[in-house]
Chain A
Amino acid sequence: GNSVTQMEGPVTLSEEAFLTINCTYTATGYPSLFWYVQYPGEGLQLLLKATKADDKGSNKGFEATYRKETTSFHLEKGSVQVSDSAVYFCALGFSGGYQKVTFGIGTKLQVIP
């Protein structure tokens, strides 16, 4: 079956530090890949996505590249802010009549001033 593995948290960084959250996947076929973010007390929001190999998704200074050869979709940001403190979920899904999204366990990021 399909699965998503992402690094365990929590991750604690100082403001302006570089962020990497690792994500690898196992899937049959060619999934789309997503990063969702969940801010404290809120639901999930789509942060970025990539639909095919070598695509780079980017948003709000975050980016991730769909690497088919390493089955990875690592999330990066060059300089984190306190407002980036949240839980980040890597996910995969498929197009078609029924899109079931598979989520990773989530990585909590805490950015300290």
Chain B
Amino acid sequence: SAVISQKPSRDICQRGTSLTIQCQVDSQVTMMFWYRQQPGQSLTLIATANQGSEATYESGFVIDKFPISRPNLTFSTLTVSNMSPEDSSIYLCSVDPGQGARETQYFGPGTRLLVL
């Protein structure tokens, strides 16, 4: 298993500003994922972040809006840039420890973002 922490846990931001969310894992992992959970909806994968390479973004998400860093095997950041009220969501990071043939993902507690 893996224990994941996120900072901040919640924030209220003004339109047009940017927020960087941090994700810390208690063990080294190759793959980290960033998800968005909009109010009343399921999780949508934003991007996959592997250490030492560029993040891979899903359809509908671009690097200019959601830049991601992955400086080492235990840490990643997601920035939500030039925010608008539509960016109000819960942002979750998760990891795939890759310990077995069909290992699952472990999630952080999420960052609750409200954009005014």
Chain A positions within 8 Å of B102 at CB level: 32, 51, 93-95
Q: How large is the interface on A (under 10, 10 to 19, 20 to 34, 35 or more residues)?
A: 20 to 34
Known: A32-B102, A51-B102, A98-B31. A43 touches B45 (CB 8 A): no
B93-116 near A? 1/0 per residue, CB < 8 Å: 010100001111111111000000
Residue of A nearest to B6 (CB): A43
In the assembled complex, which residues on chain A have CB atoms less than 8 Å from the CB atom of B42? 89, 103-106
CB-CB contacts below 8 Å: A60-113 with B: 89, 93-95, 98-101, 103-106
Interface SS of chain A: loop
The reply to whether B104 and A93 form a contact with Cβ atoms under 8 Å apart is: yes
Instruction: Flag if A34 contacts B107 (CB, 8 Å).
Output: no
Residues of A within 8 A of B (CB): 32, 34, 36, 42-46, 49, 51, 89, 93-95, 98-101, 103-106
Binding site for A on B (CB under 8 A): 6, 31, 41-43, 45, 48, 92, 94, 96, 101-110
**In the complex, number of A-B residue pairs with CB atoms less than 8 Å apart:** 50
Nearest-CB residue, chain A, relative to B50? A98
21 contacts between A and B (CB under 8 A): A43-B6, A43-B92, A43-B108, A43-B109, A44-B107, A45-B107, A46-B104, A49-B104, A51-B101, A89-B42, A93-B102, A93-B104, A95-B101, A99-B31, A99-B105, A101-B104, A103-B43, A104-B42, A105-B41, A105-B42, A106-B42
